[in-house]
Structure formats: C-alpha cells, structure tokens
Amino acid sequence: MHKYILKRFLMLVPVLLGVIIIMFTLSEFVPGDPASIILGEGAQPADIARVREEFRLDDPFIIRLLTYAGNVARLDFGISWSTRRPVHEEIFARFPHTIRLATFGIIVALFVGIPLGIIAAIKQYTVFDTGATFFALLGVSIPNFWLGMMLILFFTVQLNLLPATGFIEPAQWIMPTIAISTSSAGIIMRMTRSSMLECIRQDYIRTARAKGQKEFVVILRHALRNALIPVTTTAGLSFGMLLSGAILTETIFAIPGLGRYMVESVLRLDWPTAIGGVLLIAMAFAVVNLFVDILYAFLDPRIRSQYK
C-alpha cells in the first residue's frame, strides 16, 4: 500500500512541472512590458531599466523559467507587480474562502446527487427516474454564472431574502453554494445511477435477496458499497472542477476568494499573481486526485492486493 501511495505522489511532480511550463510560456506572449506595468504610465527609461534588472526580466527565458520553478518548489511565487507584496501572502490569504466554497459545493452535490441516483436506479423507467434524469441534465446544462445571476435577481432583488455579496454569514453561503454545486450534483447523480444499475444486476445481489435480506440492506450495504467506487472518483474530479469554477462564482457574488483575485490580477496584467493562483489551484486539484486515488485503493481490495 505504501508503494501505491508513493507512486501516486511522485506522479504529481511532472503534472505540476507541466503546469508551470505552460503558464509561464503563455505569459511570455502577453503584450506589454512588465516593467512599464509595474511603474505605470509616464515611467522614465532609467526606472524601467532598473525594474527590469530588479526582477531579472532581461534574463533568457529558460533561465527565468528554471528560476521560477525552483522558487515555486520553496512555495515562493514571486512578487505581485501591482501591490509589490509576495504573491504567496496574497493568494494564501484568499484561498481559504475558495476552499470553503468548493467544500460546501461538493457536500451539497453529494447529498443531492447520490440519493437521486439511487432512487433513479431502483425506480428505473418510472416518473422518479425521469425527474432525476431531467434534474441532472438541467444541472449540467445551466452555466454556473448565469444561475448565480438569476438567484441574485430572484432572492435578492425580488424577494429581498438573501444577501447578494459576501461569504461570512451563513445566509451569504446559500446562493453561491447552489450556483456552484448544480453541475456537480448532476454529474454525480448520473454516475450513481449508472453504477447502481450495473451493481443491482449482479449475481451477488440476487443471492442476497434469495437469502431473505431486506431490500433496504441489499441496496445500501451490497449495491451502494460497490457502486460508490466510481462515484468517489467522480466526486474527487468534481471537487477539483469546483476549485477552478469558483473563479466566476466568486466574481458574481463578490466573494474575497482566490478566483475573484485572479480575475482582478488579469485585468491589472499582474501575471505573477495570476500564474501563482492557477498553479495553486492545479496543486490543490492534484492533491485532491491523490487523495481520491488513495481512498479508491481502500475501497477496492483488488488494488491493495497488487501492492502487497
């Protein structure tokens, strides 16, 4: 088992390195002189040259890339061009709000998607199955940013029930959580239904029923336990998608999270901050996938047996 965990952990290194190379390379094609952006309009050529030397902007591309990768290994994401503060201080101060929003979203998606998937599977081709499938299709199809704006118009503008901005009080959590979780809930529901339909047709389910086990026990203990293996993987991927999808949701609801800060950084052409935010989300996504892989090994004895 330790060999399996170590192998999955080592696979994170090339993934993160690839993200660094891609993001750093894309930033090179952005028009504009970083030194001029830092100093603003009307900067003198001598000051521009001093800033370029300070940030080593005149070094060859490969040298700057290797230097940046080495700094990231020490959790040093550079200096923000707009605030002149360390990027890691800026993003780590806002990342907890993004984590909280994504966590609330995946919890709601699991509590909605899994029960609907179970009901749709055991009531196949009934009105329950049709309704759950329609909900899943609707959740996957509706863009999160559009749903967020509709929620603001209805619950804030029309009914004046919920606040439209902020993420401190529980009342401020409701609309952003609904907006960000609908897509994941639909995906989890469809995966749960598909996996449950495959499990309830297996021989061991018929054997459990033949032994006189209650249907409730057969569904939850035998079918659902095996059906959760692919659902767990889907939930992990959905959580990673929620981290990246929080960018638009945080912007709509004015949540002081990493996603909104990244949007503001792009508008200010503050590329060290934007690259640092994308890299941190990629690292979080990779860590979540690593946790899911480890959990998958605990759920599936066949994986554990391969590394004994």
CA atoms lying within 13 Å on the CB side of residue 52: 15
The pTM for the full model equals 0.81
pLDDT of the residue at 186: 92
* Single-letter code of the amino acid located at 291: F
Q: Which residues of the chain have pLDDT under 50?
A: none
Residue 143, token pair as written in the block: 């863009």
Token output for 190:
């469809």
Is residue 295 within 8 Å of residue 58, measured between CB atoms? no
Q: Are the C-beta atoms of residues 248 and 144 closer than 8 Å to each other?
A: yes
Under DSSP, the state recorded for 3 is H
Distance of CA 183 to the CA centre of its chain: 12
> What was the pLDDT predicted at 177?
92
Backbone angles phi, psi at 85, to 5 degrees: -110, 155
Reported as a single tens digit per residue, the pLDDT across 12-62 is 788 888 888 888 888 777 776 777 777 766 777 787 788 777 777 777 888
Assess contact for 44 and 88: CB atoms under 8 A. Answer: no
Q: Which of 243, 245, 239 shows the shortest CA–CA distance to 295?
A: 239
Q: How far apart are the first and last CA of the chain?
A: 7
Contact 259, 246 (CB under 8 A): yes
